[in-house]
Amino acid sequence: MGTEGLLSPQVLWLLLWVQLCRGAAEVRLADGSGRCDGRVEVKHQDQWGTVCRFNWDEKDAAVVCKQLGCGSVISAVPNERFVLGSGPIWLDYVGCRGTESALSDCTHTEWGEHSCTHSDDAGVTCTGFVRLVGGDSRCSGRVEINDRDGWKSVCDSHFGAKAADVVCRDLQCGRALSVTRASPSGEGIGPIWDRELQCVGDESTLSSCPMGTPQDQPCTQTSTAAVSCTRFRLVNGSTPCMGRVEVEVQGTWGTLCASRWDLLDAHVLCHHLGCGFAVSVPEGGHFGRGTGPVWSDSFHCEGTESSLDQCPVTALGASPCFHENDAAVICSGPPHNASLRLVGGGSRCDGHVEIFQRGTWGRVLDDQWDMEDASVVCRQLRCGEAEAAYTVPRAKRGTGPVGLRGVRCAGHEASLSLCNTSLPEATGIMEDVGAVCQGEQRVH
């Protein structure tokens, strides 16, 4: 047999070099409890696909956690915990040493070659990069960062208000209320993080903040940083989507004064809680008298924010307001247990489509999104007729969890969940979808 078809070692090395220069493939964890837990998905040829768990172990999972800035691996979990994936299965027989910086740097079969089904998709649970400990809830306490040597407290001189905002955002705990020195009861006993967190303040995760070089000045556990974040809830209503507005501050729940509460603020809270949009803001006392402090927050929302922590707000503190004037809201509620919202547009009636399921907001992806589908979205949001249906440009696509893949509406359905969503696995490239509606139809 001749050697004409064989490649020389020099050519083989050149091909390997070209492959390495293409850069690491993006990876994400989908449909889990947060961004550091879920089904493993990797992006190839501009399309997200899954990874087969044949040969999958904790070394492979550790590389995923590292690539995502999610700390260390807890487990390489089977897919039974998560919704079945869809689309291509990109990788099989992944073999990582655990030292690689990206999953695509590990050995694996050729892209798209596998002998799996989506019931064999791999999953990962990571520790996360940051946590708050020693407080009254997971949303308050001493700041700890997880690096390769375990959890470390953060020196308060290396930690500012912008970093605190990012911590609360990363932990999905609302906005930062305060940055303080940890109390004696909250002091740690372990090592100290020796780098300054130089966050701009708009980062989605703490691990994406720039970090300074190791600091030489000493820092003790009595000088570690602590953060308190806000949490919101509706109480004393006949459904979870109506009631008196309450906010948690440093472990204590209190009410908001109704004199500074309006429909735009209420819209944002309803969206944030997965309760649709605000139908009305009843006068103070409509849902009974609250207990505890009355906070004097004055939110200045435009109505398009995705959560109250994105709205400008005055400082929390004592208020001359009494419980007879507690703020309240009646939200439209999540129809058929799946509320929708449009984000990133100029109003609540245009933007990218997101669906609220299993306690979290997820993106809607489709490969044949049309006006019939958009009409149902506009009708469900009470935003009039649909004016446009579109797919989101690549540069503006979301990166969060996916709530729904593929939907076919006739156009007359009352909600998107009533459309056909039990489609066979699509062959086209699914993209984030959006809708533009005529405008808001207020309910009186």
pLDDT tens track for 303-315? 877 677 678 877 5
Whether residue 7 lies inside any domain: the answer is no
Task: Say how far residue 313 (Cα) sits from the centre of its chain.
Answer: 22
CB 134 within 8 A of CB 109: no
Domain range for 383: 336-437
For residue 68, pLDDT beyond 90: no
Q: Indicate whether 118 and 176 sit together in one domain.
A: no
Q: Which of 192, 204, 135, 186 is nearest to 158 (CA)?
A: 192
Whether residue 4 lies inside any domain: the answer is no
In angstroms, the CA 198 to CA 86 distance is: 38
Whether residue 190 lies inside any domain: the answer is yes
In angstroms, the CA 313 to CA 296 distance is: 10
pTM of the model: 0.48
Number of domains in the chain: 4
Q: Indicate whether 116 and 157 sit together in one domain.
A: no
Can you give 277-321 as a three-state secondary structure string?
A: CEEECCCCCCCCCCCCCEECCCECCCCCCCCHHHCCECCCCCCCC
Whether residue 12 lies inside any domain: the answer is no
Domain closes at, from 198, 229, 260: 229
Domain closes at, from 229, 255, 281: 229
- Residue 42's pLDDT is 93
Render pLDDT for 7-29 as a digit per residue (tens, 0 to 9).
444 433 433 433 443 467 889 88
For residue 157, pLDDT beyond 70: yes
CB 318 within 8 A of CB 250: no
Q: Indicate whether 223 and 275 sit together in one domain.
A: no
Q: Indicate whether 276 and 368 sit together in one domain.
A: no
- The model's confidence at residue 360, banded by pLDDT at 50, 70 and 90, is low
- Residue 159's pLDDT is 86
Q: Which of 348, 353, 361, 345 is nearest to 274 (CA)?
A: 361
